[in-house]
Structure 1
Amino acid sequence: MSEQVNPVLLRTGGPRLGVAVPVCAVLAAVIAVAAVAGRWLAPHDPGVQDLLNASTGPSATHWLGTDDFGRDVLSRVLDGAGSSLLGPVVAALGATLLGLLLGLMAGFLGGAFEAVIMRGVDLLYALPALLVLIVLVGMFGGGYWAAVGILIVLSTPGSTRIIRSAVLGQRTLPYVEAAHTVGLPRHRIMIVHVAPNVLPTVVATLLLDFVAALVALSALSFLGLGLPPGSTNWGRMLAENRTLLELNPWAAIAPALLIMIAAMSVTIIGDWLHGRLERGRLDHD
């Protein structure tokens, strides 16, 4: 049993992304490969300096030129893909899993559970996450993974509110009432029956959290917090190479473009995937 769905809305709902989805999928796959195998794909050692060839433009030897220490820019952006993306992936997974747990409890159980959870969520949600992240990491000198842990806590309230809203929409549907009638325990209904029906929202939340974490951690690295100088993290590279825009602009443009492409690709794929999962769930029901 399921809710009634307007077939016209189902056919017309959601943006027609056309060719954007496969293009973004290819770009995301390339970036993912670089994140996993970037160090082995790099044509040069990303840490080797060649001061005689510092700040040079693209050439047959150095496709994206060199930075102010003569290090190959292409090798450094490939090597930095892993450190630039792993932190956001961990932060997004952590925030989404916590948000799923808290959102299910608040939305399905209600009562005192909902009151306590949502008051805590409202308190954290009122904080400016990026500013708090910068202040905490700057004050206490935490490293990159400390920043990831703080970001998980600060991102959880948004995930919790979104997932709770989706659970509230499921709680009053006939299949939940039927499960109560046959005597299924609440935790089984919540985990086995309700959680799969909010999967599209969970996936969309996960991907949006990844994009937000990528931007936040890149901004933190740009400010020189969380990672030591000379790191191949894209945000750190952008900060250190912005003075080379006249000599070799690709030293700064390449990491900036990769951050933008990764964020754009995941956002578009998330939008498309949410629509597909939602239509598949409704068709199944």
Structure 2
Amino acid sequence: MRARLDVPALVWAAALITLSFLTLAVFGRQLSPRDPDTQDLLLGASAPVHGHWLGTDELGRDILSRLMAATGSALAGPFVVALAAMIVGTALGLTAGYRGGLVDTIISRFADLVWSLPGLLVAIVVIGVLQGGTWLSVAVIAFLSIPHATRQTRSATLGQVRLPYVAAARTLGLARSRVVVRHILPNIRATVLTTFLLDFVTAILIFAALAFLRIGVEPGAPSWGSMLADGQSLIAVNPLQMAAPAAAIVLFAAGVTILGDWAHDTLTKDQQ
């Protein structure tokens, strides 16, 4: 019988934090104590008071409600980015690592070229010039994230190609696609998963940076990055207006990273 997993308390805490944010991503507006878009110009920017536990912004909007409502957009775009990068990057990495030769050279040079670009600067220029919204941001950041997944998957695939089971599969005349999908891919799942989670966290930080600069976001729509920007000029009035979204970004990123490390270690042990 398989031994039970020994899950550390830190991993349980990370799982609880991550699950809480994912719940807010889906039900944030429904769970928020107030309408995040309702303004109270008479109240304006204020420190925490009864009924506004994190205070209000310069338009009198409840910060806690806006923080909760912003969770969906803060996570949805980065998730799509990481998913797209995982699908395309894994396919390219498997192909390069297994085929080798000219195919490997072409894919690797493409990955190296895109990887060498200053990603955040490219995103700022492209999205800013084209005046794009969320979907352009997703497309640009996903394209810039593909090389990371490609390089990681290629490296893991090269490690598998040298093992005897791949040579045996080739000797038996198994189709190339079957060898890659049925045999190599399951053995590199730890690398694929951790790369996906790292790209997810990185995309969250990039989206927050773009929103902080007012790039790729709808005016007035709640987002963690724009809340940071709004709170910058009002930090003396209510420090929580900046601290709350900053804490949300750090907590979720830390939770996902801890879960990713634990999952990688667990999957690696299972393969040994």
TM-score tier (shorter): over 0.9
Q: Counterpart of 2:146 in 1: which secondary structure? A: helix
Matching of residue 162 in structure 1 with residue 147 in structure 2 = no
Show the counterpart of 1:226: 216
Aligned-partner Cα distance in 1 for 2:124–2:234: 26
Quick check: 1:231–1:237 contact (8 Å CA) kept in 2? no
What is residue 187 of structure 1 aligned with on the other side?
177
What is the rounded CA distance, in whole Å, between the counterparts of 2:221 and 2:30 in structure 1?
A: 17
* Amino acid corresponding to residue 199 of structure 2 in structure 1: D
Q: CA deviation at 1:60?
A: 2.5
Distance 2:177 2:232 in 1: 53
For residues 98-133 of structure 1, the C-alpha deviation after alignment (integer angstroms, 9 at most, x for no partner) is 110000000011112111111111111111111111
Say whether residues 1:146 and 2:136 are aligned partners. Answer: yes
Residue 243 of structure 1: CA displacement? 1.4
Q: State the partner residue of 1:235.
A: 225
State how far apart, in whole Å, the 2-side matches of 1:183 and 1:150 are: 40
* Gaps in structure 1 of 5+ consecutive residues: 1-15
Aligned equivalent of 2:63: 73
Who is 1:54 aligned against?
A: 44
C-alpha separation in 2, matches of 1:228 and 1:31: 22
1:3 is matched with none
Q: Shift of the alpha carbon at 1:21?
A: 1.2
Cα distance in 2 for partners of 1:206, 1:152 equals 12
Contact 1:197 1:281 in 2 (8 A): yes
Matches within 5 A, 1:37-186: 37-186=27-176
Which AA in structure 1 matches 2:249?
I
State how far apart, in whole Å, the 2-side matches of 1:255 and 1:187 are.
45
Query: C-alpha separation between the residues in 1 aligned to 2:263 and 2:42?
Result: 49
- Deviation, 1:228, is 2.6
Residue type of the alignment partner of 1:155: S
TM-superposed CA distance for 1:59, in Å, is 2.3
1:183 alignment partner, SS class? coil
TM-score by length of 1: 0.91
CA distance in 1, matches of 2:250, 2:66: 17
Secondary structure of the corresponding residue to residue 51 of structure 1: coil
1:12 paired residue number:
none
What residue in structure 2 maps to residue 259 of structure 1? 249
Give the secondary-structure state (helix, strand or coil) at the position aligned to 1:21: helix
> Structure 2-normalised TM-score?
0.95
> Partner of 1:180: helix, strand, or coil?
helix
Structure 1 Cα separation of the partners of residues 148 and 134 of structure 2:
22
Contact 1:229 1:236 in 2 (8 A): no
Give 1:138's aligned amino acid.
G
Size of the aligned set, in residue pairs, is: 267
CA deviation after TM superposition for structure 1 residue 161, in Å: 0.5
Whole-angstrom distance in 2 between the partners of 1:112 and 1:66? 59
Instruction: Supply the AA of the counterpart residue of 2:74.
Output: S
Distance 1:59 1:41 in 2: 19
Structure 1: how far apart are the matches of 2:58 and 2:227? 11
1:208 touches 1:267 (CA, 8 Å); kept in 2?
yes
Segments of structure 2 that go 5 or more residues without pairing to the other structure are: 1-5
Matched, 1:198 2:188: yes
Match for residue 31 of structure 1?
21
Aligned to 2:3: none
Give the distance between the partners of 1:244 and 1:262, measured in 2 at CA: 25
One-letter code aligned to 1:253: A
Q: Deviations over 1:4-42 (max 9, x none)?
A: xxxxxxxxxxxx994321111111111110001001001
Spell out, residue by residue over 1:52-73, the C-alpha distance to the aligned partner (whole angstroms, 9 max, x if none). Answer: 2111221221111111111001
Distance 2:44 2:247 in 1: 22
